[in-house]
Amino acid sequence: MTMLPIITAPDPRLKRTAKPVARVDDGLRKLMDDMLETMYQAPGIGLAAPQVGVLKRIVVLDLSKEDEERRPHVLINPELTWVSGEDVTYEEGCLSLPDHYADVVRPSAIELSYLDRDNETRTLEADGLLATCIQHELDHLDGVLFVDRISALKRNMILRKLLKAKKSDTTPSADPAHVL
Ligand code: GNR
Ligand code: NI
């Protein structure tokens, strides 16, 4: 297992649209295992490939509690096939927006189709935190962050603080000259 570095905002790589996967092969299965390990280590409940610099439509998630057995899930080329008319508000966080949280409104229940790690097409119905998390991850595949779904005032406040944190970080990979 390899830990992958997680990209944090502001970074143009988080704003791009990820490309569909033609076929799941051993290389992508290794990437998904590394993404799961990276997500558990972070720790987070979901991770999308663009967050580790891979512009492919791949998502991993696991909503099991720390004291429970792990329930890893991988979604390849996920597509919403239905969203509820009813909305719900969750306080969201994002590994690419470290230490910032905000209330985000999204449909409360969804249905989606996706490929699993054996290239089988599957469908899933979700509500509660799972529905919110999946929508948050699907947004990453389209270059959308949760701050794009809140007021411009709150968004700019969070992005300004993240940029400031990056500017005071002296590690070369965090140099804004490279990431902006
Ligand atoms: O770990 C995460 N928690 C979370 C909480 C509420 C709504 C969405 C999320 S996803 C986030 C991990 C992450 O950044 N995934 O892209
Ligand atoms: Ni996120």
Residue 3: inside a domain: no
Q: How many domains does the chain have?
A: 1
For residue 75, list its beta bridge partners: 59
Nearest to 165 by CA among 96, 104, 93: 96
82, part of any domain: yes
Give domain status of residue 175, yes or no.
no
Task: Please report, as a single letter, which amino acid is at residue 110.
Answer: I
Residue 4 lies in a domain: no
| pLDDT of res. 167 | 86
Rounded alpha-carbon distances, angstroms, from residue 124 to 28, 72, 146, 168: 21, 15, 22, 43
CA nearest to 109, candidates 130, 74, 84, 92: 84
Going from the Cα of 42 to the center of ligand 1, the distance in angstroms, rounded, reads: 11
> Which residue from 136, 144, 147, 162 has its CB within 8 A of the most atoms of ligand 1, so it is best to mutate?
136
> The domain spanning residue 33 has which CATH number?
3.90.45.10
**Tokens encoding 44:** 């987070």
Residue 72, domain member (yes or no) = yes
Structural domain range at position 152: 12-168
Neighbours of ion ligand 2 (CB under 5 A): 94
Query: 3-class SS at 114?
Result: strand
Q: Is residue 180 part of a domain?
A: no
Residues forming the active site: 137
- 5 is a domain residue: no
Written as tens digits, the pLDDT of the chain (180 aa) is: 899 999 999 999 999 999 999 999 999 999 999 999 999 999 999 999 999 999 999 999 999 998 999 999 999 999 999 999 999 999 999 999 999 999 999 999 999 999 999 999 999 999 999 999 999 999 999 999 999 999 999 999 999 999 999 888 876 665 555 554
pLDDT at 170: 73
